[in-house]
Amino acid sequence: MKNIALERTMSFVKNDLKREGYQIDVIDSNEKNNPNYLNNFDALLVSGSKINFIGIETSSTKIPVIKASGKSIEDIKVELNKIFH
């Protein structure tokens, strides 16, 4: 089972993704600023409303980041499937 970290503002997709078989953890502000913590996940789902969310472009995280801005839950699922399958 793939473990997905969700930015708190994205928690509305949590149940949909759980039904797809993903383990979901909503992350708080302390966790989202800790690359070592984020590396425990298989992917990070962010709202995309901030261009440089947690400085992800310059951080040492090794996980895929999905920016959900303007995407439906179906679009998000497609992106996750591309990453994991």
Tell me the pLDDT tens digit for each residue of 21-77.
999 999 987 787 788 899 999 999 988 765 454 544 435 568 898 988 889 999 999
pLDDT tens-digit map of 2-24: 999 999 888 899 999 999 999 99
Domain positions in the chain: 3-84
CA distance 59 to 21: 28
What value does the CA radius of gyration of the chain take, rounded to a whole number of Å? Answer: 12
SS3 1: coil
pLDDT at 35: 84
pLDDT at 57: 44
pTM, entire model: 0.82
CA distance 28 to 85: 28
One of 3.30.2320, 3.30.160, 3.40.50, 1.10.10 is the CATH number of 3-84, namely: 3.40.50
Q: One-letter amino acid identity for 30?
A: N
pLDDT at 27: 92
CA distances from 15 to 23, 28, 41, 61, 81 (A): 10, 18, 18, 25, 17
